[in-house]
Structure 1
Amino acid sequence: MGPELHLQMIAHRTTELRREADDYRRAREAEEDTKSHSPERRRRSLFGKLIPA
């Protein structure tokens, strides 16, 4: 395998891995955002403010 071909393969794989990492990060952020807007979380924080510990 020539060095040029090897370099192209490395560049292509790097691009694929970065794309996968971005997709994973976006999915994780969307999941966290969904959880932060869930009604259960809001109820707990509301009761925490109304009923002092």
Structure 2
Amino acid sequence: MGPELHLQMITYRAIELREQADNYRLAREAQEDKKDHSPEKRRRGLFGKIIPA
């Protein structure tokens, strides 16, 4: 395998891995955002200690 072909393969694989990481990050952020808007959100601060959720 020539060095040019090897470099192209490495570059292509790096692009694929970046896309997978972006997709994973977006999915994780969406899931965290979904949890934040749930009605069972815990109370924080002073009132969370006084009034149980």
Superposition TM-score, scaled by structure 2 size: 0.82
Q: How many residues align?
A: 50
Gaps of 5+ in 2: none
Deviation, structure 1 residue 51: 6.0
Q: What fraction of aligned residue pairs are identical, expressed as a percent?
A: 60
Greater RCO structure (CA 8 Å; 6+ sep): 2
Alignment root-mean-square deviation, CA:
2.2
Moved over 3 A (4+): none
SS, match of residue 26 in structure 1: helix
Gaps of 5+ in 1: none
- In 1, Cα distance between the equivalents of 2:15 and 2:49? 51
